[in-house]
Chains A and B, each alone.
Chain A
Amino acid sequence: MTRHVVAPVSEFPPGTRRCVVLEGRRIALFNVGGRYFGLLDRCPHQGGPLSEGVLTGLVEAGAPGDYSFSRPGEILRCPWHGWEFDLATGRSRFDPRRHRTRAFRVSAAPGEELRAETVPVRVEENYVVVET
């Protein structure tokens, strides 16, 4: 496992997203209400850029007229044909076993802990870190 420092926490506020290229792969990163998510920026269908997709929630219906909306902001819809993915797992909503994109662990870590990284960090800051 490699840890990559991608940004100071202060520069990646809730409700924003960004793309990074790590080890040659484009990864789409999201901050949803203070929780970080990372997905390979390539839809498994035809390769659409997931980083440009709309974030929505989970709409489920047990019966006609009886529907619920949950997990706002945690379902990503591909900007091309609209396949939906769970940000946390990278699995598609319609066929989670067969169709998925890779999800990466993204978290915040104190600069203190990251001092060995090649990217210069300041000990008094916190940083967003992606694990590949």
Chain B
Amino acid sequence: MTTEVLERPSGEAPAEAALRIADCDIHPSPKSLEREIYPFLEKRWQRHLERYGARPRQPFLNGPAYPKGQPDAARRDAYPPAGGRPGSDLAFMRAQHLDPNNVGFGVLNPLKSGQGLQNLDFADAYCRAINDWQIAFWTREEPRLKASIVIPYEDAAASVREIERCAGEEDYVQVFMLNRTAEPMGQRRYWPIYDAAAAAGLPLAVHAFGFGGAPITGGGWPSYYIEDMTGHAQSSQAVLTSLVFEGVFDRLPGLRLVLIESGFAWLPALCWRLDRVWMRMRDELHRCKRRPSEIVREQVFLTTQPMEEPGRPRQLVECIDWIGWDRLLFATDYPHWDFDQPDRVLPSWVDAEKRRAFFTDNALRVYGRQMP
């Protein structure tokens, strides 16, 4: 939809205009599979995709089980004027998001790939294609954008091969998984992936969604999409609890975990609970050597979107005080409908030093990068 502007805007500057920010959750899409993905996908798998489709590990459906808050889960104003899916047009992404919001460092998190697919060989091939596509179509063209190594995580050996294949290319800044896996993420079948990420010096990023085969909430299949969305916080808590108690962080003290798109206000309560049970059950939880909250403070980071929005904004700030201002990485989720607008997420009275950490410095530190 286009609207005509009769006079120029007055140039009212957003509050964050002076600060170049990092956006740790941007979702790119290909304009066309044939033109952008097929060049990186063997003929055999192109044929497979056309004949059998990309079948996720869930019954009956090809894609997410619930219709989203807006069509294609996208902001209605994010459809590129030249056509194509939201997030598929770099020029429009620059004009609508990167430039006006002053994004100096953006992490691409492709959601449609081989992740969560039943056919593991196809999952592997499709993930490889998506990785090559991110470099060829996005990061080479736009130095502000960085890529994720998307891996077929239900096949650890293939995942390790892919991490090793990509790790030398410095445009990849993280190893990327989804948080609904076939088994809890601390299980040993996934350990080779964590070893490879740590060896490559890359953070392990775990984004909401995925197709593990189990109901998507701890209480079974919900009625509404918005329960699916609310459930991301549960899934991330399960991921974190499993990784902590299975001893993954103690095995790999250099591993950094970034939890993406699950909010964060639940973290203090979870840490209180984990610390308490750990004290009592240390004998059984013998692989977990350090107090869980200490592990979280050293090795775990969370992206901010979708920010919790308490009626009293002061309570949000208090909650971040508990978590620590060095733990959160700002993210918009562009171009999705639950996008967070950078100049509207923190109350104006939060001081400049905290804002810098929240919007920029934490991300650059975790990813070990400078603004390009």
**A54: nearest chain-B partner, CB-CB:** B76
A5 to chain B, nearest CB (A): 10
Residues of chain A within 8 A (CB-CB) of B344 are 45-47
Q: In the complex, A104 Cα to B95 Cα: how many Å? A: 29
Q: Which of A18, A26, A81 has the most CB of B within 10 A?
A: A81
Q: In the complex, A25 Cα to B10 Cα: how many Å? A: 7
Q: In the complex, A7 Cα to B7 Cα: how many Å? A: 12
Residues of chain B within 8 A (CB-CB) of A6 are 6
Residues of chain A within 8 A (CB-CB) of B76 are 52-54, 79-80
Task: Kindly state whether residue B164 has any CB partner on chain A within 8 Å.
Answer: no
**B2: nearest chain-A partner, CB-CB:** A52
Task: Kindly state whether residue B121 has any CB partner on chain A within 8 Å.
Answer: no
B115 to chain A, nearest CB (A): 26
* The one of A25, A28, A82 that contacts B3, using a Cβ cutoff of 8 Å: A28
B232 to chain A, nearest CB (A): 16
CB–CB A18/B4 < 8 A: yes
The total of interchain contacts (Cβ-Cβ below 8 angstroms) comes to 65
**A27: nearest chain-B partner, CB-CB:** B6
* The one of A7, A19, A47, A53 that contacts B5, using a Cβ cutoff of 8 Å: A19
Task: Kindly state whether residue B83 has any CB partner on chain A within 8 Å.
Answer: no
Q: In the complex, A18 Cα to B4 Cα: how many Å? A: 5
A88 to chain B, nearest CB (A): 20
Residues of chain A within 8 A (CB-CB) of B340 are 46
Task: Kindly state whether residue B298 has any CB partner on chain A within 8 Å.
Answer: no
Residues 1-57 (chain B) with a chain A CB within 8 angstroms: 1, 3-10, 12
Task: Kindly state whether residue A9 has any CB partner on chain B within 8 Å.
Answer: no
B17 to chain A, nearest CB (A): 14
Task: Kindly state whether residue A20 has any CB partner on chain B within 8 Å.
Answer: yes
Residues of chain A within 8 A (CB-CB) of B355 are none
Task: Kindly state whether residue B343 has any CB partner on chain A within 8 Å.
Answer: yes
Task: Kindly state whether residue B338 has any CB partner on chain A within 8 Å.
Answer: yes
CB–CB B6/A49 < 8 A: no
Task: Kindly state whether residue A24 has any CB partner on chain B within 8 Å.
Answer: yes
Task: Kindly state whether residue B313 has any CB partner on chain A within 8 Å.
Answer: no
Residues of chain A within 8 A (CB-CB) of B8 are 21
CB–CB A82/B69 < 8 A: yes
- Known A6-B6, A24-B12, A80-B75; further 15 A-B contacts with Cβ < 8 A: A18-B6, A19-B6, A20-B5, A21-B7, A21-B10, A25-B10, A45-B344, A47-B341, A48-B77, A48-B341, A52-B3, A79-B77, A80-B77, A82-B69, A82-B337
Measured CB to CB, the residues of B under 8 A from A are 1, 3-10, 12, 69-70, 75-77, 337-341, 343-345
